[in-house]
Structure 1
Amino acid sequence: MPQHTRPRPICPDCDGFPTVAITTGQTTPDGHRKTLTVTCRACHGTGHRTPAAVLARTGK
């Protein structure tokens, strides 16, 4: 039987689109546009956020 797994939550910073191409507005000598490929800093390009670390209770 297949295991039931919970879907991983989508990154709130990139809404699940972790890698984007941004045009710089410049063109190369052969006419193509220059682009930059950027990945989300929050999820490091996965599109999903990792669960928060479990906080340890300290004190008495």
Structure 2
Amino acid sequence: MTHRTTPRPRICGNCDGFASVAITLGGRDTRGHLRTITAHCPACHGTGIVHRSPARESARA
């Protein structure tokens, strides 16, 4: 007997699941640490997963 599995989450096509990255600004601060900022994918808002829209779910049924 096969077991039902939950569907795999849909990986964001814009970032391929790598939703947050650290970008160097160049240079170092007074303590010698590299200055970085964190950038998030605008499509998935930093989650790496795209959720199905309710409109598409009703169309599939």
Q: TM-score range by the shorter chain?
A: 0.7 to 0.9
Structure 2 Cα separation of the partners of residues 8 and 25 of structure 1? 36
After TM superposition, the runs of 4+ consecutive aligned structure 1 residues lying more than 6 A away are none
- Gaps spanning 5+ residues in structure 2: where? none
**Deviations along 1:13-39, whole A, 9 cap, x unmatched?**
111011110001121011111000111
Larger helix fraction of residues = 2
- Gaps spanning 5+ residues in structure 1: where? none
- Matched length: 55
2:5 corresponding residue in structure 1: 4
Structure 1 Cα separation of the partners of residues 4 and 25 of structure 2? 46
TM-score normalized with structure 1 length:
0.77
1:50 deviates by: 1.5
1:37 corresponding residue in structure 2: 38
Q: For the aligned residues, what is the CA RMSD?
A: 1.9
